[in-house]
Amino acid sequence: MKDYKKYLDPKVVAKLANIELISKLVVEGFITGLHHSPFHGFSVEFAEHRPYRPGDEIKYLDWKVLARSDKYFVKQFEEETNTRVMIILDSSASMKYASEGNISKYEYGSFLAASLALLMIQQRDSVGLALYDSQIKKFLPPNSRPSYIREILKALELNKPENQTGTANCLNEIAERIKKRSLIVVISDFFDNSEDVTKALHHFRHNNNEVIAFQVLDDREVDFKFGKSATFVDLETKDTLLTHPFHIQKSYETSMNEFIQKLKSNCLIQKIDFNQISTSTPFDKALVSFLNKRKKV
């Protein structure tokens, strides 16, 4: 795949026919990228191999991988590779936002969720999906059956972002439903009370789950670069504000940076991986962050 990089570009894949095709091309592009530009600590055989460790039996060494890469890997068996992954996606109305030229936060989040689900099912992991706004809209428990990806992709494609957010309450409810140790992936703009959100994220940690949070934001939500005059509409409450953006840009940027840094700091204290990501960012950045976390589980 010579053009693998273009399938990691959100604006390119958004033009494709459906989420199944999008997820396949993103995953193929990502795996191809691992070959071309290896990321630290990864082998392209990450699902079926792991680095040789002292004490491993020599008979399990993969000599073909050694010949190609000059690195020692042993074959892994299915019970060694299986991980339970729960992907949780915010589908409240605020996720509909998209500045000119970018895809919406929900589109980005759903493409990322679909790609993660496909990647993990291909690696024989068990994957589940939860969608929420003010309440839980869909809950698919983790399953490793290959055909299960169709149910996940259908749920993502049919879902529409709407209603006000209830991130903290919904995360707490989902945490109560997860009975076995899992890797929890939360994709949201986290536009909720940051203290309540981090407490809810920490709820997952009580059961020794590992948690990775992706805060998906539009570039304009961070830099606030709008025109001389603009009308702002709250996508959840429909409240409107007509103003000159430059009058409030500095105070807005200060407040937004404080919000992000507080959320990030709280996650760090709770040993939760926090990743702020823009809707214009290629998907491989998020996929690599996820795989780094998966290696710890």
5-55 confidence digits (pLDDT tens): 787 899 899 998 799 999 999 998 888 876 555 444 444 344 456 676 676
Cα gap 283→281, rounded to integer Å: 6
Given a contact cutoff of 8 angstroms between Cβ atoms, the answer to whether 106 and 95 are in contact is yes
pTM of the model: 0.82
> Residue 172 — very low, low, confident or very high, per pLDDT cuts 50/70/90?
very high
Rounded to 5°, the CA angle 174-177-181 comes to: 100
Token pair of 192, please? 């909720």
Token pair of 68, please? 């190609």
Given a contact cutoff of 8 angstroms between Cβ atoms, the answer to whether 107 and 91 are in contact is no
Query: Per-residue pLDDT for 267 more than 70?
Result: yes
**Helix, strand or coil for residue 161?**
coil
Q: Which residues are CB-contacts of 273 (< 8 A; sequence separation ≥ 6)?
A: 210, 211, 212, 213, 267, 289, 293
Cα gap 255→259, rounded to integer Å: 6
Query: Per-residue pLDDT for 81 more than 70?
Result: no
The CATH 3.40.50.410 portion of the chain extends over 83-294
Element (H, E) at 221: helix 219-223
Q: Which residue has the higher pLDDT, 231 or 187?
A: 187
Q: What is the pLDDT of residue 45?
A: 42
Name the CATH architecture for the domain at 83-294.
Answer: 3-Layer(aba) Sandwich (3.40)
Best CA proximity match to 212, nearest among 135, 113, 111: 113
Cα gap 11→280, rounded to integer Å: 7
Token pair of 150, please? 């169709």
Query: Per-residue pLDDT for 282 more than 50?
Result: yes
